[in-house]
Amino acid sequence: MRNLVILSFVFASASVASAQETPIQHDAEHYLLLEQHADKWAAEDSKISETLEEIRTAQNGKPPNIVYILLDDLGFGEIGMPDLDVIRGYSTPNISELADEGLSFMRMYTEPTCTPTRVAMMTGRYAVRTGTSEAKSVVSGDGLSAWETTIAEVLSQRGYENVHLGKWHLGDIEESFAFNQGFDYAEHPVHQQGQMAIMNADAELAGASAAIAPHLRTDTYELDAGFRVKPHSMVYGIIGEKGGTAREVNFEPGEVFTQEHYMHMEENYKNRVLEEIERLADGDKPFFLNYWPQLPITLTLGNIDQAQTLNGGPMAESIAMVDGWIGEILDKIDQVGIAENTIVIVMGDNGPFMQYRWRSGQNDRIYRGGKNQHLEGGVRVNAFMRWPAAIEGGSRVQDIVHVTDLFTTLSRLSDADQYIPRDRLIDGVDQSPLIFMGDTNGRRDYVFVYEGPTLRSIVKQQFKFHLPEPGANPIAAPVFDLYKDSREERVDTSQTIPLGVGYGGLFVDMMKRHLGWKMKYPDREPGRDVPYGGIENLRPETQELVNRFVFVRELMSR
């Protein structure tokens, strides 16, 4: 449906379809929309290609740099919305300023936990398709498969230099590490930060965890010396370069994790971001800097000298601090003179960890639910994007966007969409039209929401369908009108406006199309291997953990 000829002479500005004969392969639902809007979309796509070409020309042919900042466990209403300062008892002036200077995605959907959201952004695919839909907290010997193509790999092909700093959490096996997934250079912890922020003695003293600190227990009945969590045995943070080996840094044999280690690690990542911006700005290549702080997650008050917020909770204090860091990063981008053609995105990865909300300073917000839940509170986040060369400040769009769309859209904006693989299903759609033409020009009106490997709800337009219990009649399953019942509470149909006979059935049809399409593109297995491959300097206690893993694996294959 697109004209494959007229644009083919300008390779650099070629649209997806003109770059390769085979278009990007999407989920069934996409083709229902394409069928209705094909002509309009094709015309818009040509126009956008021209616009992108013009912007690049104005920038000496250079596609935009990308600085992607993904904050951990921050759901909708927690950053960049000054109207809510009085509720939260803290403010995020730097993120608010970024919002004023750029575009606010008011309806950004993520997956409900860290690993799935991060995989979805990196691959443009629901995590469930990649076998990494579970957020692991212990050594697992699996992770993002080498078969998957990340946004870093796509951008590499277009000549980008890619750096990753901060949280990663896409697996503890060699192929999953960032420098083996498209980044030229990476510094990252191997696991999630619970290992550092919650599973330490400071956090145990603060009542945020239990059975961590050896001095607070005896081992009288511990027949299995390997069962109990030994967070310090797990690898801390590693550094590596593309194609090379890795080494663990800043942690010595026999050391145990403390809050101080954690804060030091986080400050270091932030400082490295500032250094890398200077270095990368000096280079000839466009760059992709992926900064995923482990903060704001922190659960002890012990490291607060003097609270800076009215709220005073450890998470609230931490959010305010990280907002200050983002201010430093934005200042640095200004100082080195690259602001105009640098896309900066700041967003949360999923809702807050509600189990900790009573001690964290986070509170119950507009939407119900949080991390790990398919409810809006789990999968709706604030997301802001600044790109002065292309986006007018103070823009705001209410169309549905899914985190996978960043993969596709950033590839397009970077003139790299021709490198998106055509041999697999890509959930992300190209939202460039939304960015260039504004509200109502989005290309998605649906989201499938998984909790781990389980499809739990389907969003279409303003409606949300919660999948019924196994065996229940899906036609009677609750369908919520998110404008009239934002908290998805009115399950009792005597308390709700019945959504017209048929809505349940329409959602069942969507579910069947989505699951049926998996016959063409089956969900895949994750990569599997011995943990911590390619790390040169494993500590003895880490090697012991690996030995246990190998023993168990052999046991299970007997």
Positions touching a copy of itself (CB under 8 A) are 77, 81-90, 106-107, 310-313, 316, 358-359, 361-367, 396, 398, 462, 482-487, 489-490, 495-497
Query: CB 469 → a copy of itself: shortest distance, Å?
Result: 23
Task: Give the residue with the Cβ less far from a copy of itself, 199 or 400.
Answer: 400
Task: Give the residue with the Cβ less far from a copy of itself, 354 or 390.
Answer: 354
Query: CB 301 → a copy of itself: shortest distance, Å?
Result: 10
Label residues 117-150 b or e (16+ Cβ within 10 Å = b): bbbbbbbbbbbbbbbbbbbbbebbbbbbbeebbb
Sign of the CA dihedral with 63 first, then 65, 71, and 75 last: negative
- Look at residues 247, 398, 293 and name the one whose alpha carbon lies nearest to residue 71: 293
Query: CB 332 → a copy of itself: shortest distance, Å?
Result: 28
- Look at residues 1, 18, 2 and name the one whose alpha carbon lies nearest to residue 415: 18
Q: Report the distance separating Cα 238 and Cα 180, nearest Å.
A: 13
Angle in degrees, 0-180, between the axes of helices 404-413 and 28-58, rounded to the nearest 10: 30
H/E stretch holding 289 = strand 287-292
Q: Report the distance separating Cα 290 and Cα 282, nearest Å.
A: 18
Q: Which two tokens stand for residue 325?
A: 């860091």
Task: Give the residue with the Cβ less far from a copy of itself, 163 or 322.
Answer: 322
What are residue 385's phi and psi, to 5 degrees? -135, 125
Query: CB 45 → a copy of itself: shortest distance, Å?
Result: 26
Task: Give the residue with the Cβ less far from a copy of itself, 78 or 451.
Answer: 78
Task: Give the residue with the Cβ less far from a copy of itself, 21 or 83.
Answer: 83
- Look at residues 419, 341, 428, 346 and name the one whose alpha carbon lies nearest to residue 387: 341
Label residues 361-400 b or e (16+ Cβ within 10 Å = b): bbbebebbbbbbbbbbbbbbbbbbbbbbebbeeebebebb
Query: CB 364 → a copy of itself: shortest distance, Å?
Result: 5
Query: CB 28 → a copy of itself: shortest distance, Å?
Result: 26
Task: Give the residue with the Cβ less far from a copy of itself, 81 or 120.
Answer: 81
Query: CB 31 → a copy of itself: shortest distance, Å?
Result: 25
Q: Report the distance separating Cα 439 and Cα 202, nearest Å.
A: 47
Task: Give the residue with the Cβ less far from a copy of itself, 503 or 521.
Answer: 503
